Amino acid sequence: MLWLDLGNTRLKYWLTDDIGQIVTHDAKQHLQAPAELLMGLTDRFERFAPDFIGISSVLGNELNAKVSETLSRLNIPFEFVHVDAAHPLMKSQYNDEQLGCDRWLQMLGAVDKKKRQCVIGCGTAVTIDLIDHAEHLGGYIFPSIYLQRESLFSGTKQITISNGTFDSVGQGMTTQDAVHRGILLSIVGAINEISHRHPNFEVIMTGGDAAIISQHVNRPVRLRDDLLLNGLARYFDHSK
């Protein structure tokens, strides 16, 4: 099988064998041209001859149509995931026409009907979702640390583009530190507040910035990089 995750920043893919083991996987920035990036990967995909392609995309109809066009040339059946708020593994109270399919799949990949869970996706946007015994209660969406920094750079005169690091939530004494620490604190503080409000929820984090953010969270965090893949596998198992 070939599994694709088209996020706002990166395209991730996994090739898995008959028993679901990962044969190879990678993540690449697509620069809003995922179809062109896929075109460059088709040789690699053809060599593995997957019998099915399952796709998660949050890129919208126009880019999805281009992706479909590229994938059609492979002559391998493919299918995009559609959010199902009444899925047998997890019910959701969220507006299912709006819920991002990566968010939903990450939850589907994590959900455990015996637990209360808080699933945090740290991608282009940071998403925080609450699940109570396999019922999605809703959540929050924040701009990532990088999007927040860009908005300060573009919306102010005296804060100019700099390449600081997001490594502390202590107060800053320079503009660069104050910007990076303030932004990191906005996300970490929100996570700490939400986990304070929901003390019995297991905190699970995934996505490109999960490692940077999780270090400052004052609760034990389970880092999982397999959630979306797990969600895709669970989804296509149930839809056939």
Ligand X SMILES: Nc1ncnc2c1ncn2[C@@H]1O[C@H](COP(=O)(O)OP(=O)(O)O)[C@@H](O)[C@H]1O
Measured torsion, CA atoms of residues 77, 71, 234, 18, in degrees rounded to the nearest 10: 60
- Structure-block tokens of residue 85: 């708020």
With CB cut-offs between 5 and 8 Å by kind, which of ligand X, ligand PAZ, none does residue 103 bind?
A: ligand PAZ
Q: Which residues are catalytic?
A: 102
Q: Name which of residues 112 to 131 contact ligand PAZ (CB under 6 A).
A: 121, 123-125, 127
Of these partners, ligand X, ligand PAZ, none, which one is at the site of residue 29 (CB under 5 to 8 Å by kind)?
Answer: ligand X
In the numeric block, the tokens 């997957």 are attached to 50
> Which strands form 10-16's sheet, in the order they lie side by side?
22-29, 10-16, 2-6, 53-57, 78-80
Report the SS3 class of residue 179.
Answer: helix
Nearer to ligand X, 127 or 134 (CB): 127
Strands 2-6 and 10-16: antiparallel
Q: Which stretch binds ligand PAZ (CB under 6 A): 28-36, 68-76, 94-102, 185-193?
A: 94-102
Distance of alpha carbon 138 from alpha carbon 155, whole angstroms: 30
Per CB under 6 A, does 34 bind ligand PAZ?
no
Is 124 annotated as ligand-binding?
yes
Question: Does 49 engage in binding with ligand PAZ (CB under 6 A)?
Answer: no
How many residues bind ligand PAZ (CB under 6 A)? The answer is 14
Q: How far is the CB of 152 from ligand PAZ (least distance, A)?
A: 19
Q: How many CB atoms lie within 10 A of CB 193?
A: 10
227 labeled binding residue: no
Provide φ and ψ at 120, rounded to 5°. -115, 120
Tell me: is residue 103 an annotated ligand-binding position. yes
| Minimal distance, residue 29 CB to ligand PAZ, in Å | 12
70 is in an annotated binding site: no
Q: Does 58 bind ligand PAZ (CB under 6 A)?
A: yes
| Closer residue to ligand X (CB): 27 or 185 | 27
By CB under 6 A, residue 57 contacts ligand PAZ? no
Contact between 64 and ligand PAZ per CB under 6 A: no
Walk across the sheet containing 135-143 and list its strands: 86-87, 90-92, 135-143, 125-132, 116-122, 202-206, 221-223
User: How far is the C-alpha of 120 from the C-alpha of 35, rounded, in Å?
Assistant: 28
Give dist(CA 208, CA 11) in Å, integer: 12
User: CB nearest ligand PAZ: which residue?
Assistant: 100
Please enumerate, by residue number, every residue annotated as part of a binding site: 5-12, 94, 100-103, 124, 175
Please enumerate, by residue number, every residue annotated as part of a binding site for ATP: 5-12, 124
Please enumerate, by residue number, every residue annotated as part of a binding site for substrate: 94, 100-103, 175
